Structure 1
Amino acid sequence: MEIPLDLARTLAAVIDEGTFDAAARRLHITPSAVSQRVKSLEHQLGRVLVVRSKPARPTEAGAAIVRLARQLALLEHDALAEFGSGDYDSEEGGVTARPVSVPLAVNADSLATWFLAALERVVQRHPVVFDLHRDDQDFTAGLLESGTVMGAVTSQATPVAGCLVRPLGVMRYEAVATPGFAERWGVADERRRDALATAPVVDFDRRDDLQREYLVGRGVDADRPPRHYVPASNDFATAIKLGLGWGLLPAFQSAGELERGDLVRLGGSPVDVPLYWQQWNLRSPLLDAIAGAVIAEARSELRA
């Protein structure tokens, strides 16, 4: 059995774009032609490959085909680069090849602080665009397993099947609040565990366990406090800085305010989150360049 590569690329376009119509626009063909290609591939392989929902999503078999198409696109880019048509022209400043799209997964706090600086260095040297998927660091590895992304910042130290893993460093979080909030609710007094049980807390979303972990460490029932949910990293930090509640912030987002007295520490042990870089185990100069930039930036910004 062989997999027609043009049909595999069409399926990947449907999954990337979310609909058959959007894939047709990207491929410069009609939606009917996209549908016919996908049906033909399903017929040849004897499997349903895509769930025709909005957005479209791959079945388990379809995910394997999408992963193959993305790997081929990356390897094709690297091969063209060896012919001298894969990098920016450093003297003229122009692009000599169509950028390849590289999907990556990253946690919200890394994305809001240090991660984009690493990607900026990559795009200065390579014709590449990034399709970033934001998720909690405990879940980004799942996007590697499904083939959705080629590389990920994750808290998972064990390599995903078919992937390489390298340590990035530790992101340290401290519990903080505004002085007014701390005084009103008494949360800065380490002797008053009851205060943390009643004071409003800010969580990123319902999968955010950082504040829960901190409360457990302080001997507090983590289910008792009322919660705000603010699912964007910068807005999460802003909610704490405005006094909506207390929460855990990395130094990137709190050092200046702590120094000025606009925020105060609530005591207790900080929460350290080790981060790792995982990527597909392919011999790809582009993927290796991305990994090198991410690792260098992380090691200059995160705790060892």
Structure 2
Amino acid sequence: MNVTIKRAAQGMLALSCTLTLSAMAQTPSQPEPAAGGQPTESISTTPAGAADPARIPGADGATVEPKVTPAMPANPDNGENRVPVGVPGSLQARVAACTMCHGATGVQGADAFYPRIAGKPAEYLYQQLLRFREGRREYLPMQRLLVTLSDAYLHEIAVWFSQQKPEYPPSAPLNVSPDILKQGEQLVRHGAHDRNIPACVACHGENLKGMQPAIPGLTGLTNEYITAQMGAWQYGIRHSVDPDCMGEIARKMTSAEVQAVSAWLAVQDPGTPDKINAAARTPVVCGIQNESGARQ
């Protein structure tokens, strides 16, 4: 477990935020950064190094309409064309800093530790952005990207990704024993009631696509990502809104159980981007559901 978490941290912290911050910058319609920050520069549509038409001999200085490059389709198999290029200033163009890691339209990052965020409940995504900005989810590159962004802008980003419905890439096979997969399925479908561990499907839905308004789906995630997140809850690196139901559940599970659940979820056929399950009573009280307006 410690090796997995260490690898996750090393791989993720190697990212450079310097080249991606401008893509997330607030547009003029957004509130100015907090006191002490610098005003956001406007987005330029002139390619770097291009000559100014007014300085070219014979140029009349007339305004030239910028050419709009249509968005390129994502290719999740080899990681190419992952940053959509849309109308300059559009939200699709401004979330390029997100799609550099999470893939075009949030389909899934090329690295196993960058999860699919497309189609997740908007309130779940919004709450995660708030947690990253506040440092309750500990990942420095995300915090630096979000620290100057307003609540309203973060909600706009969350809604955009929740509306994306790209097809799932096929699940990758894992070299694990049938006994481990059997143990994982038992916990996912039935839990361990003697230790007050509810079944995963009780909150995430029988189809594991999540529950409105703020419980995420578990399909299309990698074994490495699920294991790392469960470990982050166990060791207090990840926190949710109190009461933090997932933190409480994860700390009741053994390392072997975490590995079994992660493996079983990762090898399941993700199917199609089904509808998220309607809100329903959960076996444990989850603060993120309360915070998002659900009655429990």
Same fold? TM cut 0.5: no
Please, what TM-score do these two structures have when normalized by structure 1?
0.27
Please, what TM-score do these two structures have when normalized by structure 2?
0.28
Structure number, greater radius of gyration: 1
